[in-house]
Amino acid sequence: MHIATVGRAFPPHYADQDTLIAAFRAAWAARYHNVGRIEQLHRNVLVGGRHLALPIGDYLQLRGFTEANDAFVRVGTDVGAAAVSDALARAGLTPADVDAIWFVSVTGIAAPSIDARLVNRLGFRPDIKRTPIFGLGCVAGAAGVARVSDYLRGFPDHVAILLSVELCSLTLQKEDLSIPNLIASGLFGDGAACVVMTGERRAAAMGLAGPHVVATRSVFYPDTEGVMGWNIGTDGFKIVLSAEVPDMVTRHLRGDVDRFLADQGLDYPDIATWIAHPGGPKVLEAMEAVFPLPEGALERTWRSLREVGNLSSASVLMVLREALENPPPPGSYGLLIAMGPGFCSELVLLRW
- 174 shares a domain with 306: no
Final residue in a domain of this structure, among 188, 206, 224: 206
Averaged pLDDT, 207-236: 92
pLDDT for residue 167 is more than 80: yes
Q: What is the pTM of this model?
A: 0.94
Residue 63: count other Cβ atoms within 10 Å of its Cβ. 7
- 149 shares a domain with 165: yes
Query: Is residue 279 helix, strand or coil?
Result: coil
Q: What is the Cα–Cα distance from 19 to 52, expressed in whole angstroms? A: 12
The single-letter code of the amino acid at 51 is H
If you average pLDDT over each of 177-186, 218-227, 234-243, which comes out highest? 218-227
DSSP assignment of 136-153 equals -GGGHHHHHHHHHHHHHH
pLDDT for residue 30 is more than 80: no
- 334 shares a domain with 247: yes
* Catalytic one of 138, 168, 194, 344: 138
Q: Are 196 and 93 in contact (CB under 8 A)?
A: yes
- 68 shares a domain with 197: yes
Q: What is the pLDDT of residues 41-82, one digit of tens each?
A: 899 999 999 999 999 999 989 989 999 999 999 999 999 999
Cα dihedral across residues 44, 45, 50, 56: positive or negative:
negative
Averaged pLDDT, 11-27: 92
Q: Could you tell me the residue range of the domain that residue 64 belongs to? A: 2-206
- 345 shares a domain with 250: yes
Residue of 210 and 53 predicted with greater confidence = 53
- 167 shares a domain with 29: yes
C-alpha neighbours within 13 Å on the C-beta side of residue 274: 22
Final residue in a domain of this structure, among 206, 237, 262: 206
- 169 shares a domain with 24: yes
pLDDT at 107: 97
Asked about 168 being catalytic, the answer comes back as: no
pLDDT for residue 100 is more than 90: yes
pLDDT at 174: 85
- 189 shares a domain with 284: no
Q: What is the CATH number of the domain that holds 108?
A: 3.40.47.10
Final residue in a domain of this structure, among 168, 190, 206: 206
Question: How many percent of the chain have pLDDT more than 70?
Answer: 99
Q: What is the pLDDT of residues 275-299, one digit of tens each?
A: 999 999 999 999 999 999 999 999 9
